Amino acid sequence: MIRRIPDWMFPRLTGAVAWALAGLVLSLILGISWMAWPHLSWAAWVGPGGRASNPLDPRSVCLAPLLIGTAARTFLMSLAVIPMGILTAVYLAEYAPSGSRMARTLRWLVQVLAGVPSVIFGLFGLGFFVGVVGGGLDRWNGDLASPVWGRPALLWASLTMALMTVPVVVVATEEALRSVPRDLRVAAIALGATRLQVLMRILLPNALPGIATGVILAIGRASGEVVPLLFTGAAVATQGSVALNERFMDLAYQVFVLSTQSPDPQASRPLLLTSVWALVFLSLLLNAGAAILRSRATPAARDRL
């Protein structure tokens, strides 16, 4: 049956599917931009009179505190997930005994972690980070009447997101390390380099594009997640603070609230469209940054050889 298919048909079929997918993505971006464009203004970023107000109020559209809260949560998550994911992947790819039961078990646990629903991470963050860690800090400080750390906050939401996205970084980093040609390792060892020097000077620089891709994918996944934030720290309205032990405002959480809890959905539509547009634009920036980083990291890695 396969032999009867003309040679010219399969390339055209795959190309048609690829361009159709690209057209769907482009139409999604243009459609959201078209609907949100009439509502984008200076007041959409700073609010009436330059002050933020209740996001559920359809008369006020303010994205600045939402962007600040999302950026703070993403930054703290990256500080936790990047070293944790890269170090785990380095151990699995370079130091764990090949084919050992321990390495297989660790990889299986990473795969299980990747398949856990986000609501489970939210409940875990609420029970462990907020209840156990935060509550333990409050008990240690002797301040149980008015908890400082034992409550949903920016820090616990960021750590929960880091735990949820660490499998993406681990898998991408391990595959990037294994894709480095073995000849480079053998040549470096033959020249007298230690295992640590091979890792730092040969493997990681050459695997940097793949590692950057995994990190950006993890950040992109976390930027649109809402369920863990419901339990660990997001709020409808705050004073604009980004303190580690305070609740914060978030773009994805605001989209969820406006689409499910708004008292006047029709009046809140401009704010909802503006928030969705900002979330899509943020995703585009992250992917563009990943593409630029990959294009610049690959020549830099070659120059080190």
| pLDDT value for 270 | 76
pLDDT (tens digit per residue) in 87-134: 999 999 888 887 778 888 888 998 888 888 889 999 999 999 998 998
Residues present in the chain in total: 305
| pLDDT value for 54 | 54
Among 128, 131, 156, smallest CA distance to 234 is for: 156
Can you name the residues that pair with 234 across neighbouring β-strands?
Answer: 248
pTM for this entry:
0.82
Name 200's Cβ contacts closer than 8 Å, sequence gap at least 6: none
| pLDDT value for 96 | 83
| pLDDT tier for residue 84 given thresholds of 50, 70 and 90 | very high
pLDDT (tens digit per residue) in 246-278: 888 888 888 888 888 777 777 777 778 888 888
The CATH number, out of the four listed (3.30.465.10, 1.20.120.1200, 2.40.50.140, 1.10.3720.10), of the domain defined by the range 42-304: 1.10.3720.10
Among 213, 104, 120, smallest CA distance to 163 is for: 120
Give the pLDDT mean for 158-181: 91
Which region among 58-62, 186-190, 200-204 has the lowest average model confidence (pLDDT)? 58-62
Q: Cα dihedral sign for 258, 260, 266, 272?
A: positive
Residue listed under structure tokens 């980083």: 293
| pLDDT value for 268 | 73
| pLDDT tier for residue 157 given thresholds of 50, 70 and 90 | very high
- Give me 292's structure tokens: 């630029």
Distances (CA, A) of 277 to 66, 223, 280, 283: 13, 13, 5, 10
Give the pLDDT mean for 22-32: 85
Among 222, 224, 217, smallest CA distance to 290 is for: 217
3-state secondary structure of 299: helix
| Average pLDDT score over the chain | 81
Query: Which residue type is seen at 151?
Result: R
| pLDDT value for 111 | 87
Kindly list the domain boundaries of the chain, sorted by start residue: 1-39, 42-304
For residue 214, count CB atoms less than 10 angstroms from its CB and return exposed for 0-12, middle for 13-18, buried for 19 or more.
buried
**Which carries the bigger pLDDT value, residue 11 or residue 144?**
11
| pLDDT tier for residue 144 given thresholds of 50, 70 and 90 | low
Read off φ and ψ for residue 112, nearest 5 degrees. Answer: -65, -40
- Residue 89 and residue 169 in contact, taking contact as beta carbons nearer than 8 Å: yes
- The whole-angstrom separation of Cα 113 and Cα 79 is 19
**Which carries the bigger pLDDT value, residue 288 or residue 84?**
84
- Residue 264 and residue 58 in contact, taking contact as beta carbons nearer than 8 Å: yes
- Give me 47's structure tokens: 């609010």
| pLDDT value for 240 | 63
Please give the share of the chain, as a percent, with pLDDT higher than 90.
Answer: 15
Query: Torsion over CA of 75, 78, 208 and 87, rounded to 10 degrees?
Result: 150
| pLDDT value for 235 | 80
For residue 177, count CB atoms less than 10 angstroms from its CB and return exposed for 0-12, middle for 13-18, buried for 19 or more.
buried
- The whole-angstrom separation of Cα 249 and Cα 230 is 11
Read off φ and ψ for residue 95, nearest 5 degrees. Answer: -115, -25
**Would you list the DSSP string of 49-112?**
GG----TT-TT----HHHHHHHHHHHHHHHHHHHHHHHHHHHIIIIISPTT-HHHHHHHHHHHH
pLDDT over threshold 90, residue 25: no
Query: Which residue type is seen at 152?
Result: P
| pLDDT value for 124 | 93
pLDDT (tens digit per residue) in 37-77: 776 766 556 555 544 445 555 455 467 778 888 888 988 99
